[in-house]
Amino acid sequence: MKSDVGSLARPLRGIIPPMVTPLADRDALDVAGLERLVEHILAGGVHGLFILGTMGEAPSLSHRLRHELVDRVCALANRRVPVLVGIIDTSFVEALGLAHKAADAGADALVLPAPHYYPAGQPELLEFLRHLVPQLPLPAFLYNLPNHPRPMFDPETVQIAAAEMPGIVGLKDSSANMTYFRHLQFLMADRPDFALLMGPEMLLAETVLLGGHGGICGGANLLPRLYVDLYAAACAADMPRVQTLHRKVTELARTIYRVGRFESSFLKGLKCALSCLGICSDFLAEPLHRFRGPERDIVQRHITDLGITTNGFVSP
């Protein structure tokens, strides 16, 4: 493990946006957009940056492009915040290769899902971790993928893995299953150094109010300050402010993320909005595709109605 692992706060707290990947084409980064996006997000006061997750379209990208992205983002972030790198791959060998790339580029941690292709029981998931984690060159967060049914790490599996493997330092839960999250918190109560981070941003406020450590909020690509402020309000149990900001988060979910018919409309809406604001390209790698004109017009109208600018959220 690299020498400055101590640089990663334990537990990691706050808002760590799951960065979208600005693309010029299916195998080319939008380099200028990437630079603008990183600066836009960091200007919001976030506490970390998570690249190559589900929101970053990692599974759709070539390994070459993933490696390029790791290099560029680590250089752009330049140690201002910790960089977390998702190693979503169905192949153990490929996931390990990406982990080494991340360490070489100066990333701070990895984000590791359960294998998602073959059905696996919890004993198999635990054995998988026992094989992989000791070989990882960086600390790792476990990752429950969105879109159930997919394999999840049972609370008991997390507890055992965290006790056995010092390299596992937290978990990102995108399952949207709040009962699961509460069980997990209960089991990990004696591990205050273990970060429990929420995926779905609609659940950020209550996560933090009841002791969770923060959120991997997709909307923080667009409005990083909103989520940072909501996190702070929840930490302070400032309930009126929590209510107000939570409502703004919900407004995004009711507008920009709901254009279009399919489950991917969250990601499409987010990239479209970033493009409307001039931050980066809205190209999406197959099998997804960007919104066409009519849908883009709706997104633009929502942006105007909500008073969103590149400097943040100005609601009426």
Which residue positions form the known binding site for pyruvate? Answer: 216
Nearest in space to 100 (alpha carbons), one of 58, 56, 63:
63
Q: In what order do the strands lie in the sheet with 168-173?
A: 14-15, 214-215, 195-198, 168-173, 140-144, 109-113, 83-86, 49-51
- Which residue number, 67 or 106, has a Cβ lying nearer to a copy of itself? 67
Q: According to the binding rule CB under 8 A, does residue 287 interact with a copy of itself? A: yes
Measured distance CA(16)–CA(111) in Å, rounded: 12
- How many other CB atoms are found less than 10 A from the CB of residue 247? 11
Shortest distance, position 309 Cβ to a copy of itself, whole Å: 23
User: Interaction with a copy of itself in 257-276: which residues (CB under 8 A)?
Assistant: 261-264, 267
Positions marked catalytic:
143, 172
124 lines the binding site for a copy of itself (CB under 8 A)? yes
Binding mask 171-190 for a copy of itself (x = CB under 8 A): -----xxxx--xx--xx-x-
Residue 235 binds a copy of itself, judged by CB under 8 A: no
247 binds a copy of itself (CB under 8 A): yes
Q: Report the sign of the C-alpha dihedral through residues 9, 203, 76, 171, in that order.
A: positive
Instruction: Considering the complex, state which of residue 163 and residue 237 has its C-beta at the smaller distance from a copy of itself.
Output: 237
For 39, 107, 129, 223, 308, the CA distances from 311, given in Å and listed in that order, are: 12, 27, 42, 8, 8
**Which residues of this chain interact with a copy of itself, rule CB under 8 A?**
26-27, 54, 59-65, 90-94, 97, 114-121, 124-125, 127-128, 131-132, 147, 149, 176-179, 182-183, 186-187, 189, 200, 202-203, 205-206, 209-211, 237, 239, 242-243, 246-247, 250-251, 253-254, 261-264, 267, 285-289
